């Protein structure tokens, strides 16, 4: 049995705060077999060939810095890439098929972005030998006999022209902050006025990149990537910060160009990935330890295999349980009295006006909020939170806990533990099982400003819900999170609200998980930046029908996994549903 040993160099505090406890308790080391070595940075390393997988060092490490994985079925090949001794390693790469859209789905921390950097030529494979630098010919030789041999031959002879939309758009924002949108896009687009109208960015052409919102920057970088000269388009997480309308706009644009383009795309939005991909690679493994790419399969089969947790072609189980999107928890709990009510609410902010039809939220109830960006969803949440002045009536005899959509923790030099104690001093005792379920336990000694986007969303949502309150307002909790994390976060939200008997309002753009977490749905309509209206709160199916009709798209439920799917525009199913007036079936 092969073993993988990983030591997190950031978490390991040897030798300053630990006198190599892992070495002292290791039974192999005690028997005078040198399994542990001290590297130049004074951190320990583990010889995986001598490790017996007992796990004693894992349990005894005071900083939870060690992971030992016993692989029951190891990947056929040696790693394509490994960062260093006892660090993350990646097995296999996605296959680049010309003229196809290759979708990649998998958890964060399993090497998707590492793989796309190798495909882009920004990182070179080392095949697990991190002490050696392979030249182009050696790399091509390692892939001989496979489709990747041909790809790397073209890549290293400069016959592959790559356009790459990276995952970390914040880094690009800082690099280009003084450039205007027009200056950036003019480099790759001649008919900029025409394209800007197509994507509705005319009003931001004169603004600096550093002043753009997350959604605006995401759209600008997508446009730059698509119109830059290329024969391979790499897109890493394009749906973050974008509302469903903008996601559909990009989806339609990709459908326009896909027949004459080769596209590789990573994303966590199942609706988006399912609608655009020709083939799917599933990435499986253990987060921050190792990742492996499955062999390619058709889009429907790939996403269904991922949700089921079983890759049929490889006879490989990647998860203990399937992800069920048709079964909600606590559906038997009855709603109680109204916790908050509102009527005749009007908000005027400079040139923007929001009108809200009467509504209420009851005990044990979670209300999902649907609508485009810029039509008042976050404005309404802030109004309920008491941050914005309004006309009309809102019952206010209650305490509120609020997670905003945007926040800046760059100057927060406090640990996650200190941050969470600000919400609830006894959170470790009261919410012990959820700390483990949400993978927050391993983050407690990390500083808040070092967390990834998905980790920060989870921590802030957790903190908001452990605070004692009557009404919980959560704005975009699923952004930057992978599918499993969205599911456990949805379960946590439902658990807390139903167990406490409180009320909650959740704003998000992921239709699948917003539908899963919500008991009813509040639908917004309007014109971005000018006018918004909250139409009312509806039962989920009715609310989704009203919302999807605004977008002129139809959705159906997959028979096998019960997941929603977008019908292709003007397809037979699309036209039949529209004729019946059923936009969500």
DSSP secondary structure string, 27-92?
HHHHTT---EEE-TTS-EEE-TTT-----HHHHH-TT--EEEEEESS--SSPPSEE-STTS-EEE-
Q: What is the mean pLDDT of residues 411-435?
A: 92
Please determine, for residue 1, whether its predicted confidence score (pLDDT) is greater than 70: no
- Quick one: which of 292, 313, 289, 291 has its CA closest to 301? 313
Q: What is the mean pLDDT of residues 512-521?
A: 94
Q: How many CB atoms lie within 10 A of CB 392?
A: 14
- Asked which of 64-78, 131-145, 363-377 is least confident by mean pLDDT, the reply is 64-78
Residue 167: the pLDDT is 85
pLDDT digits (tens, 9 = 90+) for 283-341: 999 888 899 999 999 999 999 999 999 999 888 889 888 888 888 888 889 999 999 99
Mean pLDDT of the chain: 91
Q: How many CB atoms lie within 10 A of CB 141?
A: 12
- Quick one: which of 582, 500, 510, 480 has its CA closest to 325? 510
> What pairing do the DSSP bridges indicate for beta strands 531-539 and 352-356?
parallel
Q: How would DSSP label each residue in 361-411? A: EETTEEEEEE--TTSSHHHHHHHHTT-S--EEEE---S-EEEE-S----TT
- Quick one: which of 241, 281, 264, 215 has its CA closest to 481? 241
- Domains in the chain (CATH in brackets) are 3-71 (3.30.70.20), 81-161+230-317 (3.40.50.300), 337-539 (3.40.50.300), 552-584 (no CATH)
C-alpha span between 135 and 157 (Å, rounded) = 13
H helix intervals, 186-238: 192-198, 214-227
Output the CA–CA distances (angstroms, integers) from residue 191 to 183, 187, 194, 209, in the order listed.
13, 11, 6, 20
Q: Is 360 exposed, middle or buried (0-12, 13-18, 19+ CB in 10 A)?
A: middle
H helix intervals, 190-297: 192-198, 214-227, 244-257, 270-276
- Asked which of 64-73, 80-89, 238-247, 385-394 is least confident by mean pLDDT, the reply is 64-73
392: left (phi over 0), alpha (psi -120 to 50) or beta: left
- What are the residues facing 89 on neighbouring strands? 82, 290
Residue 479: the pLDDT is 84
Round the CA-based radius of gyration of the chain to a whole number and report it: 25
C-alpha span between 486 and 276 (Å, rounded) = 21
C-alpha span between 168 and 222 (Å, rounded) = 13
Please determine, for residue 342, whether its predicted confidence score (pLDDT) is greater than 90: yes
Cis peptide before 173 (omega within 30 of 0): no
Q: Nearest-5° angle of CA 164, CA 170, CA 172?
A: 50
> What pairing do the DSSP bridges indicate for beta strands 279-286 and 101-106?
parallel
Residue 74: the pLDDT is 53
pTM here? 0.86
Q: Which of 2-11, 197-206, 354-363, 438-447 has the highest mean pLDDT?
A: 354-363
**pLDDT-derived band of residue 10, with 50, 70 and 90 as boundaries?**
confident
Crossing angle for the helix pair 244-257 and 214-227, to the nearest 10 degrees: 0
- Quick one: which of 497, 453, 489 has its CA closest to 473? 497
């Amino acid at each position: 049995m092969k073993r993988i040993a990983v030591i997190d160099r950031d978490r390991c505090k040897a030798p300053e705060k630990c006198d190599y406890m892992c070495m002292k308790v290791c039974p192999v080391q005690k028997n005078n077999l040198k399994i542990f070595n001290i590297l130049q940075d004074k951190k320990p390393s583990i010889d995986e060939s001598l490790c017996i997988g007992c796990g004693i060092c894992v349990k005894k490490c005071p900083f939870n810095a060690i992971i030992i994985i016993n692989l029951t079925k190891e990947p056929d090949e040696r790693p394509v890439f490994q960062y260093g001794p006892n660090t993350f390693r990646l097995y296999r790469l996605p296959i680049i098929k010309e003229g196809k859209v290759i979708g990649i789905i998998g958890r964060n921390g399993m090497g998707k972005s590492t793989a796309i950097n190798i495909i882009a030529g920004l990182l070179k494979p080392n095949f697990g030998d991190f002490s050696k630098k392979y030249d182009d010919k050696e790399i091509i030789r390692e892939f001989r006999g496979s489709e990747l041999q041909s790809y790397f031959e073209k890549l290293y002879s400069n016959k592959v022209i790559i356009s790459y939309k990276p995952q970390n758009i914040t880094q690009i924002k800082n690099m280009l902050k003084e450039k205007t949108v027009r200056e950036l896009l003019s480099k790759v687009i001649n008919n900029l006025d025409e394209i800007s109208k197509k994507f509705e960015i005319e009003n931001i052409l004169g603004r600096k990149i550093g002043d753009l919102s997350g959604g605006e920057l995401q759209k600008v970088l997508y446009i730059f990537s698509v119109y830059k000269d290329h024969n391979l388009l790499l897109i890493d997480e394009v749906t973050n910060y974008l509302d469903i309308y903008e996601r559909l706009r990009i989806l339609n644009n990709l459908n326009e160009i896909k027949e004459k383009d080769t596209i590789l795309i990573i994303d966590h939005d199942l609706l988006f990935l399912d609608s655009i991909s020709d083939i799917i690679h599933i990435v499986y493994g253990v987060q921050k330890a190792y990742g492996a790419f499955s062999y390619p399969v058709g889009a429907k089969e790939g996403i269904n295999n991922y949700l089921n947790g079983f890759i049929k072609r490889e006879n490989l189980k990647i998860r203990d349980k399937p992800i069920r999107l048709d079964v909600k928890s606590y559906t038997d709990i009855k709603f109680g009295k109204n916790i908050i009510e509102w009527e005749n609410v009007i908000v005027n902010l400079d040139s923007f006006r929001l009108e809200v039809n009467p509504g209420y939220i009851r005990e044990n109830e979670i209300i999902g909020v649907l609508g485009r960006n810029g039509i008042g969803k976050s404005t309404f949440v802030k109004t309920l939170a008491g941050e914005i002045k309004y006309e009309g009536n809102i019952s206010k005899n209650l305490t509120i806990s609020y997670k905003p959509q945007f926040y800046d923790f760059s100057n927060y030099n406090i640990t996650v533990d200190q941050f969470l104690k600000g919400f609830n001093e006894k959170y470790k005792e009261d919410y012990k099982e959820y700390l483990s379920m949400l993978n927050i336990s391993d983050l407690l000694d990390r500083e808040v400003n070092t967390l990834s986007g998905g980790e920060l969303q989870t921590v802030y949502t957790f903190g908001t819900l452990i605070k004692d309150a009557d009404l919980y307002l959560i704005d975009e909790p699923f952004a930057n999170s992978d599918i499993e994390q969205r599911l456990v976060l949805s379960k946590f939200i439902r658990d807390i609200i139903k167990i406490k008997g409180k009320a909650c309002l959740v704003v998000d753009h992921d239709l699948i998980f917003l539908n899963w977490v919500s008991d009813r749905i509040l639908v917004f309509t309007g014109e971005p930046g000018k006018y918004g209206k909250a139409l009312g709160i509806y039962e989920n199916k009715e609310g989704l029908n009203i919302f999807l009709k605004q977008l002129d798209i139809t959705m159906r439920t997959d028979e096998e996994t019960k997941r929603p799917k977008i019908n292709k525009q003007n397809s037979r199913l699309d036209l039949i549903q529209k004729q019946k007036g059923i936009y969500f079936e």
